[in-house]
RNA sequence: GCCCAUGUGGCUCAGGGGUAGAGCACAACCUUGGUAAGGUUGAGGUCAUGAGUUCGAUUCUCAUCAUGGGCACCA
């Protein structure tokens, strides 16, 4: 009986006995066999070892070094090389786990040693010399007992713990030279297939990701098939670093941090312009989508957070005001707006006819964050959310969620954030409230997404204790994801604050509370968007939309006339009358990514027209002033990301 | 909070046991100049803070604070 293997191009090959994937590659060409590193089996999207024995009827795709999928295998094997290098240099160091992550890999070591940058250099050197030996990777199947005995004898107790937890009769072992590791693979054929490795950094990391457990020492690295690929990768990283919002914020003078208030941004006059434009934009959307905006207190008696449950669940993150009030009650800065909105809700008697109530608040929040958590504008201690709460009846929940998602889509597309993923987090183990309510809310969230034809992932058991939630993470221009929007159903606050409304039958009923933020915090969004647009804000957000550059002081009168005309349309502009060369000024404003530069010389004064330079470098002369201002105002009002002067509609 | 690294004029960075240097920015003067840096001169720093070692510390040691890369956290 022969063995038939189907290749992904449709070709079927016959073998007298069932081959391994590597043998199939060999039968195609010895070149392919040399380059192959893994195999995709049938519909499975997980890579399998190239040494896998196939069955008749299997459909396979051989992954070679030229396929990008091979990177995962290369990096996995490189992680083993890292561990081998470390144990060769320091035999007393114990190994744990070394997985592949996006763009890189790491290995966690159990040791008291702290790796210094010099150590990392030595390790990288050792890795390179191990690669030169081009050891073959040999896969062996051991009984779990044998593996446990082996690692126990070597004092590798965490490795032993892993095997025992796997609870399998057999485990696979990969050997390279005289070094071996427990691993399910897949791995390269031999270490010569790893063309380039680089150690990236070190870090502490907790065993099992649990901060109450032992801290291990983690080393990060990356690997590629060729040195060129590695260099390209490093270059791309450098580029991303240049667009870091913290650098751009400094360069464009938008915000500033000072150690006298860590984690709390100072927005400069320019940064504040951007911040306020964002806020005004959202306020407009609030009106469009039926929200009411309120202003609520900054400081509350501890009683409020006692009843809301924040004192029990969140007090570590709350700032307490030292001075107590005359009732001897502690005072706290609010970490979130919701309890205040519940107080406002309770002020009135509600009828089912008046719901939903959508209440928005840009209130400043303060949260004590662990020092190591702070990060530019994306993780701060003082911030404002585009926060709103929707108090509604259960039968309104679906349409409210749907409405909120539409609002989110509408807002994201203004920023050109069209690539985002959605996660639905469902009931956790320690949930609060009735299961039936949870099911209804989860159903409302998923139906809303389905009705709008949106794909989403389910995060089983990841919901908050008070209700299920949706998270929206956008992908920025550097392929990183940032969680911005979040919609959270809440059964807890309406209960603890005893909120109700009178239903049709004249009986009290409890409303559902939907927390929702679309941009998340204005601070975080500012940072994320600054990087995403690479500091090229659309005109409506630009701190300075227009700068007027008179060539000499003979053009000052005309400059003032233009400024006045712009200001009539509420367009902010700046006249740069400094005694500097035009090219000097252009360079400066180009670096600041000012959308419109108006260059004025005698030619323009005589013809009473404008010469416009875009930050793309494109020039448009002979523009009529009134016409220009009118169209520019239009561009700003419609939140366009493209200049009206450009034919193609794209961000510039 | 944990591991590693870093902290020098407004910014970017060099230096290094005998109290500091460059470029940009800033100021003054010359230049009124047409699409990415015109010239000259000048002013600016208790070298993050505190303690220790030393005849002497910005430089070495320790602690603190802040920042950066991660981990943990992210109601």
Given A387, A471, A476, A490, which residue is catalytic? A387
Is the Cβ–Cβ distance between A135 and A191 less than 8 Å?
A: yes
Assigned fold of A3-64: Ubiquitin-like (UB roll) (3.10.20)
Asked if A515 is an active-site residue, the reply is yes
Given A35, A367, A427, A516, which residue is catalytic? A367
Measured CA to CA in angstroms, residue A170 lies from A73, A77, A98, A166, A406 at distances of 22, 21, 20, 10, 52
Helix (H, G, I), strand (E, B) or coil at A365: strand
CA closest to C1' of B12 belongs to A251
| Same fold yes or no, A70-238 and A255-296+350-532 | no
**Looking at residues A380-396, what average pLDDT do you find?**
96
- Listing DSSP states for A478-507 in one string gives TS-EEEEEEEEEESHHHHHTT--EE-TTS-
Is the Cβ–Cβ distance between A545 and A270 less than 8 Å?
A: no
**Looking at residues A469-473, what average pLDDT do you find?**
93
Interface ipTM above 0.85: yes
Given A218, A389, A427, A532, which residue is catalytic? A389
CA of A117 to C1' of B60 (A): 20
CA of A212 to C1' of B3 (A): 15
Give, in words, the CATH class of A546-637.
Answer: alpha beta
Assigned fold of A70-238: 3.30.980
Q: What is the pLDDT of residue A478?
A: 67
Q: Report the alpha-carbon angle A231-A236-A240, nearest 5.
A: 145
Helix (H, G, I), strand (E, B) or coil at A6: strand
φ and ψ of A424, to 5 deg = -105, 115
φ and ψ of A476, to 5 deg = -90, -175
Q: Which tens digit of pLDDT belongs to each residue from A23-63?
A: 999 999 999 999 999 999 887 878 999 998 888 888 899 99
Percent of chain A with pLDDT over 70: 99
- Largest Cα–Cα distance in chain A? 96
Q: What is the pLDDT of residue A475?
A: 79
Q: Residue ranges per domain, chain A?
A: 3-64, 70-238, 255-296+350-532, 546-637
CB count in 10 Å sphere of residue A92: 9
A443 DSSP assignment: H
Q: What is the pLDDT of residue A1?
A: 67
Given A183, A193, A338, A358, which residue is catalytic? A338
**Looking at residues A447-468, what average pLDDT do you find?**
91
Picking from A69, A60, A161, A73, the residue whose alpha carbon sits closest to that of residue A110 is A161
Residue A185 has pLDDT above 90, yes or no: no
Asked if A488 is an active-site residue, the reply is no
What average pLDDT does chain A have? 92
Q: Which tens digit of pLDDT belongs to each residue from A71-124?
A: 999 999 999 999 999 999 999 999 999 999 988 999 999 998 889 888 999 999
Band of the pLDDT at A480, cuts 50, 70, 90? Answer: confident
Q: Which tens digit of pLDDT belongs to each residue from A489-525?
A: 998 899 999 999 999 999 999 999 999 999 999 999 9
pTM assigned to the model: 0.92
CA of A117 to C1' of B16 (A): 22
Helix (H, G, I), strand (E, B) or coil at A612: strand
Band of the pLDDT at A8, cuts 50, 70, 90? Answer: confident
User: Which class for A258: exposed (0-12), middle (13-18), buried (19 or more C-beta within 10 A)?
Assistant: exposed
Question: Which bases of chain B come closer than 7 Å to a protein CB?
Answer: 1-5, 7, 11-12, 30-38, 65-75
φ and ψ of A135, to 5 deg = -55, 145
Size of chain A in residues? 652
Q: Which tens digit of pLDDT belongs to each residue from A135-161?
A: 999 999 999 999 999 999 999 999 999
Tell me the CA end-to-end span of chain A in Å, nearest whole number. Answer: 65
Asked if A338 is an active-site residue, the reply is yes
User: Does domain A255-296+350-532 sit in CATH 3.20.20.80?
Assistant: no
Highest averaged pLDDT of the listed ranges A179-193, A419-433, A593-607, A636-650: A593-607
Band of the pLDDT at A465, cuts 50, 70, 90? Answer: confident
Give the nearest nucleotide to A602, CA to C1': B34
């Amino acid at each position: 009986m022969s063995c038939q293997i189907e290749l992904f191009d449709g070709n079927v090959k016959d073998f007298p006995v069932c081959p391994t994937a590597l043998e199939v590659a060999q039968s195609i060409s010895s070149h392919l066999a040399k380059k192959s590193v893994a195999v995709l089996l049938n519909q499975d999207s997980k890579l399998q070892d190239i040494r896998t024995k196939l069955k008749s009827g299997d459909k396979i795709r051989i992954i070679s070094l030229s396929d990008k999928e091979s990177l995962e295998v290369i990096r996995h094997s490189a992680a083993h090389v890292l561990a081998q290098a470390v144990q060769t240099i320091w035999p007393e160091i114990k190994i744990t786990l070394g997985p592949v992550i996006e763009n890189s890999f790491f290995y966690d070591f159990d040791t008291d040693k702290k790796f210094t940058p010099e150590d990392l250099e030595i390790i990288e050197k050792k890795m390179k010399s191990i690669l030169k030996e081009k050891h073959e990777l040999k896969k062996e199947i051991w009984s779990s007992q044998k593996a446990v005995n082996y690692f126990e004898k070597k004092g590798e107790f965490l490795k032993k713990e892993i095997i025992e937890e796997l609870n399998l009769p057999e485990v696979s072992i990969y050997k390279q030279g005289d070094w071996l590791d427990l691993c399910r693979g897949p791995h390269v054929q031999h270490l010569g297939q790893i063309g380039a490795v680089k150690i990236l950094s070190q870090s502490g990391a907790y065993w099992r990701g649990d901060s109450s457990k032992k801290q291990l020492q983690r080393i990060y690295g990356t690997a590629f098939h060729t040195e060129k690929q590695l260099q390209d990768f490093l270059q791309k990283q450098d580029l991303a670093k240049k667009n870091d919002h913290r650098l751009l914020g400094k360069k464009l003078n938008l915000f500033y941090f000072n150690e006298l208030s860590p984690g709390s941004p100072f927005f400069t006059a320019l940064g504040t312009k951007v911040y306020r434009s964002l806020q005004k934009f959202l306020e407009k959307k609030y009106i469009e989508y039926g929200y009411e905006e309120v202003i609520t207190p900054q400081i509350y008696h501890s009683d409020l957070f006692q009843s809301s449950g924040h004192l029990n669940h969140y007090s570590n993150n709350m700032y307490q005001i030292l001075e107590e009030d005359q009732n001897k009650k502690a005072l706290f800065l609010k970490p979130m707006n919701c309890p205040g909105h519940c107080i406002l809700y309770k002020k009135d008697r509600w009828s089912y006819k008046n719901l939903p109530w959508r209440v928005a608040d840009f209130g400043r929040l303060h949260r004590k964050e662990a020092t190591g958590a702070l990060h530019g504008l994306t993780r701060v201690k003082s911030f404002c959310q585009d926060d709103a709460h929707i108090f509604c009846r259960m039968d309104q929940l679906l349409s409210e969620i749907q409405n909120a998602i539409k609002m989110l889509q509408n807002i994201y597309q203004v920023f050109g954030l069209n690539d985002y993923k959605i996660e639905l987090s469902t009931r956790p183990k320690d949930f609060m409230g009735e299961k039936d309510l949870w099911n209804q809310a989860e159903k409302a969230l998923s139906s809303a997404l389905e009705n709008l034809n949106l794909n989403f992932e389910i995060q089983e058991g990841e919901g908050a204790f008070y209700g299920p939630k949706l998270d929206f993470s956008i992908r920025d221009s550097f392929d990183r994801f940032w969680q911005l929007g979040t919609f959270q159903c809440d059964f807890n606050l309406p209960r603890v604050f005893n909120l109700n409304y009178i239903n049709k039958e004249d009986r009290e009923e409890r409303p559902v509370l939907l927390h929702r933020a679309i941009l998340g915090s204005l601070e975080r969004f500012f940072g994320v968007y600054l990087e995403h647009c690479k500091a090229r804000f659309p005109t409506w957000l630009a701190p300075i939309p227009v700068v007027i550059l008179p060539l000499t002081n003979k053009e000052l009168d005309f400059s003032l006339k233009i400024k006045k005309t712009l200001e009539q349309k509420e367009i902010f502009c700046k006249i740069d009358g400094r005694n500097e060369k035009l090219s000097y000024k252009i360079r400066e404003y180009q670096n600041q990514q000012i959308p419109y530069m108006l260059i004025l010389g005698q030619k323009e004064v005589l013809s009473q027209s404008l010469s416009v330079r875009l930050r793309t470098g494109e020039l448009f002369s002979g523009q009529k002033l009134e016409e220009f201002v009118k169209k520019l105002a239009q561009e700003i009002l419609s939140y366009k990301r493209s200049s009206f002067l450009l034919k193609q509609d794209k961000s510039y």
